[in-house]
Amino acid sequence: MTEKNANLLQSVQIPATSTHKYSIIWLHGLGADGHDFEGIVPELNLIDSSSIRFIFPHAPMQSITVNRGMEMRAWYDILSIDELQREVDEVGIARSAHYIEQLIQREIDRGISSKNILLVGFSQGGVLALHTALRYREPLAGVIALSAYLPTLESLKTQRAPANDHTPIFMAHGIIDSVVAVEVGKAAYDGLKALGYPIEWHDYVMEHSLCVEEIEQIALFINTVFK
């Protein structure tokens, strides 16, 4: 099911089939769209899957600097090939974080406690999941960042929301990732751990993708936070 709302990002949604108690907002990577992870839902084999609404939003279309201005779906611009270490489109990240906060609020308006809302993201989507969740004013269930990094780690030190100081974080990465090097993902993990966040790290022999073992551990994490 695709939802269209003039005030919200368009998204692909898989509604709860029983009483709606939990919501998962899952953010895709650069150049993909909300359909990218739609097929993962049955693979997760979650204990209480019938009570979960899955929301897979489409990032806005925008030109990407490193791709010679080509337009594609993206949560923020990639300014240079050194993006992971240096130049960062902080304005774009903040704008997309606002869009994600609107989606969170929509779930709260539906009667779902913020503590039952989980943010998940892959690559750029993982950046947005971390950035948004750890600055959000109400406590969330958790955050999952896959093959991601955190270019706004430094500003988090002053912008962090106390409500999510104890929000569990799951980070996972491929050790042969040629798109987002495992070292920058691990640096984000180390930085968040140093800030006192309850965070776990998993790595796998894979490229910029997901693997079966990772999906199993994602499911375990979700089952844990949605007790």
Label residue 141 exposed, middle or buried (CB < 10 Å: 0-12, 13-18, 19+): buried
CA distances to 21, 63, 152 from 160, rounded to whole Å, are 27, 30, 11
The catalytic position among 36, 77, 89, 177 is 177
Q: Is 11 a catalytic residue?
A: no
Report the amino acid identity of residue 193.
Answer: K
Q: Is 167 helix (H, G, I), strand (E, B) or coil?
A: coil
Contact 218, 44 (CB under 8 A): yes
The catalytic position among 48, 155, 203, 208 is 208
The catalytic position among 123, 131, 147, 173 is 123
Q: Is 190 a catalytic residue?
A: no
Q: Is 113 a catalytic residue?
A: no
Query: Which of the 8 DSSP states describes residue 59?
Result: P
Catalytic positions are 123, 177, 208
